[in-house]
Amino acid sequence: MHPMSDSPYQPMHGTTILTIRKGGKVVVAGDGQVSLGQTVIKSSARKVRYLAGDKIIAGFAGSTADAFTLFERLESKLDKHPGQLMRACVELAKDWRIDRYLRRLEAMMIVADKDVSLILSGLGDVLEPEDGIAAIGSGGNYALAAARALADRADMDAEAAARRAMQIAAEICVYTNNNLTLLSLEAK
């Protein structure tokens, strides 16, 4: 059974990806744990990376091979629609819904550029959070709640809030660790 078939918001197990927009910066953070069932296979995986010449940050939850397929497809869409992250994501979502091979992929993505942060799911969703904060993965709801609570703190910039929110998620979710990859861009 496809892990996202029951609900578009069913978490992918094995990771936490978080994005925060604050103070003219957008940050995407991901933990480093890779789990196979109840076993930690790797603790230092990089699930967040730059795309499109370092103009876009993308992070994934779910199957690694499937996520890299999606990264490649997204980069292809960005080549066709340079500087138009929303349009490229909508085009990818259309393919993801229609293409029989892509429909079987078990991954979700968060992508962000200087203008917009988006969640992409295999159900064809391209979701933009109202507050610039979004999270996916098994620890996503914990990181999301923590990030929303920390977002208004004047003493924390986007990076500090993301680090603390991810730390909180790692303390609660057994599929999330404290080995973070955190990438940022200047935002509008």
Give per-residue pLDDT as tens, 138-185. Answer: 999 999 999 999 999 999 999 999 999 999 999 999 999 999 999 999
What is the model's pTM?
A: 0.89
Which tokens hold the place of 51? 């795309």
Alpha helices in 51-157 (DSSP H): 64-80, 85-98, 100-103, 140-150
CATH, range 16-186: 3.60.20.10
Conformation bin of residue 49: beta by default, left when phi > 0, alpha when psi is -120 to 50: beta
Backbone angles phi, psi at 137, to 5 degrees: 100, 180
Between 39-53, 60-74, 111-125, 151-165, the lowest mean confidence (pLDDT) is in: 60-74
Catalytic option among 15, 16, 19, 176: 15
> Is 64 designated active site?
no
Give the pLDDT score at 34: 87
Integer-rounded Cα Rg, in Å, for the chain is 15
Give the pLDDT score at 122: 72
Domain ranges within the chain, ordered by starting residue: 16-186
Rounded to a whole number, what is the largest CA-CA distance in the chain? 48
More confident site: 121 or 133? 133
Residue 5 has pLDDT above 50, yes or no: no
